[in-house]
Structure 1
Amino acid sequence: MSAIGLPPPPPAHRSPPPYFFLSYARSDDDLYVEQFFKDLSGEVRVRAGIGSAETVGFLDRNLEMGTIWSKELVDALATCTTFIGLCSPRYILSEPCGQEWHLFAQRCEQYELDNGRRSTALVPALWLPPRQMPPAMQRVQYDQERFSEAYRRDGLRQLMRLARYHDEYLEAISVLAQHIVDNAEVDRLPPLPLASRGEFAAAPNAFDTALLARAEPALPKSTDVHFIVAAPNRDDARLVRGDVSYYGEQSLDWTPYATTHTTPLAGFAREIAARRGLTAGASTISLSPAGAESPDGGARIIVLLVDAWTSQLETYRQAVERHEERHRATAALVPRNTEDAETEEHWRLLSDGLRSMFLDRIATRDSLVYRQDILTHRAFDEDLQIVLETARNRSFAVRGGLPSAPPAIGMARPILEGP
């Protein structure tokens, strides 16, 4: 308590969380890394409207294998809004770098569970592109197409070393800086609670696939995910629409994003599941009123892939409604290609039909249960990854394994909470 008549002491000054955390492998390129950090920090300040004396990034210059993690590093990793990993052959062999990646990836996963959308805060920046990215990096969806071909081929290190790439280097700095500022101002990742910042140094190495295989819960030996396609074949589609170029002889040939992605949706979905380390099967929805549900290979996560036009085909509509009554898939996803002019023209009618088919799902307001208006194949890729990972994580949170069926629609779903 302050003396009578004297003002209370000023509160202790707390530095704001860094805009970004720069993770890199210690090597002979440290001088280049220092310059990159300086250049990126300067561009972030300009784009965020921050004074030149303010600190916007964190670069650890001391951590090596076997050393103690400093409080400054732990706090920066727990509070920064973007993680930049300088990917190189040396980086993916570094245990501290793999630990830093793992810890920040967990923050992103928790954000996705809480908000139902992907975080873009984990950024693999190409420093010296390795021959093969570890699975932990391959799972990160970051649009490298925004950078120059020289960057994607040779990486930032080469752009800095060769004068002819100066413009490409400045462009890469600008792209990264704007992404960092957007993450901080538009879609901020919440900090890790103080109580959870304990034994950071004991974190697993995200790049050690053998270690992670031993540490992670084993998935079922049978098919992990099964996709059920609710879409007509070409002949049935002609009953309700004129443009049937998105359909084939079988329902599994349905390719809603054919103008930009020519792989049938069921095959594309299986590819996405494989990238998440899941085995997947696919079949069409049963049209027989008395028939059993399509085989699912013992899968515990079932995903309906629904063509909006099924709402106008009575046979398919009834098949979906029977599935909803008897089986209740984990999630239902409805692609919508904005380049499909006929679908766009009739979308209000189709949307109303979908609403009546999936009223209970829509009423839950749970993004895992129902996703509509997936406008591009890239958006479908991101949305399906969130659905699969969220379903798997929720399942492990409930029983330590995948449940045999999701909760009934309309009932409260289990929510992943802290320890």
Structure 2
Amino acid sequence: MVQLFLSFSGEDNGSGLVRDFFTDLCTEIGNITALAPDGLGYNYLDMRTAMRWRKELSEALGSCKVFIPLYSPRYFASPFCGKEWWAFSRRQADHILGTADPEPEMIFPVIWEGVFDGRRPIPKAAADIWAKQPNLGDRYAERGLRQLVQLKHNKEYGPLYHEIIFALGKRLAELIEDSPLAADVMSDDFDSFGNAFCDPLTAQKDTAAAGAVATPATDDGPSRERPASPRPVPGPRTSLSGPKHVRLVVASGTQEDLSGLREDTTPYGDRQHDWAPYTPDHPDPVLMYAVEVASELRLMPHLEEFDGEVAQLLDKVEADNELAVIILDPWTIELSGRQAALGEYDKRLTMNTGMAVPQNASDTETAANTDALRQQLLNVLGRHAQLREPVFKMSLKTVAAFQDALRQILVELTRQVMMQAPQARPALRSDPGVSFDSRPFLDGPSEG
């Protein structure tokens, strides 16, 4: 078991600077905590010849208490670093699902090279975590630590470097002590991991289709990248494929239902399925736009209306290995029986179900009541609102925003369901009559 996992691009270790920094950091944490600096943290620079690097890497990701990414342009461009981040974030998600605790803040970024200059996009996974620590000074936030490591023996910059190391070590020592993450057995099948630095559709392609597959780097930088063999999207559903059916569940009301809640009932019709929240610019029912996305992702849509039997819905999609997305109109929460059904839904955090909440920006009545509608929604669906990003999406003010959110939800749900599915490879190997496509794989570290 290790306390820290250092995730970085090998290209950033020129002249051994990353090794120097991590050694200094672990020494400082050892001084603060009395933990032995040796073995305190994991980084692949310490890999031994002939070791089973996949196994050791997965054990470190599964046991570490804190994940430390070294932010740099090279880091965010590395698919392998994206997979490390993705694996640790899945472990945090599993902790949330198992305990219903808030998300543990155990991803602790360190700025290695300036990335906040606006010249390059920062992946959402990283942008969502605050990295600019004001107590470390503007120079650190703007330029990062790399140059300071080089200047750590300089009379002018050395004290600044050591102050930063002390501050980082102090905070990491606190996180190690407070970390709620239990050790977990993590697969060493890195081919199946997503890339946290890609958008969901790109990540799906990176995991299941074509792309450059990165390998861990040596002291001199990444060993190489090579093209992966393309892998087709699964065809008709079999017991070995991922979920191919999605239930699109509209939770709205009829025009008659809404007449007592709002003045303008134009977006509604005689059935829940008639709800067209993006009227007048896009007057089609929201289900039409949802079906487009499902078809784009090669999922078979099944259209349903939300009722009080939400537990039955959740049980069925799990039993049938399907997906479900509830498309919720926040105006309808006060309809008879709706709060109770949504409250029942909020008690369960399933891997198969997500929610999207359209809210038309041009609907003046909705805009005037935005705060009240949002608070009402949070009161009923508090657990999902706090814990279920990216499969719980609110305030989708345009058709484009709604469809983009639905893509993200469906891709993430598919990934979660496939990760919890039993591994079928032994059966495939034991049956000589079964053939399957070769998968992209990651080579171990090379010598240069």
What is the TM-score of this pair, normalised by structure 2? Answer: 0.45
Looking at both structures, which has the greater relative contact order when contacts are Cα pairs under 8 Å and sequence separation is at least 6? 2
What is the TM-score of this pair, normalised by structure 1? Answer: 0.47
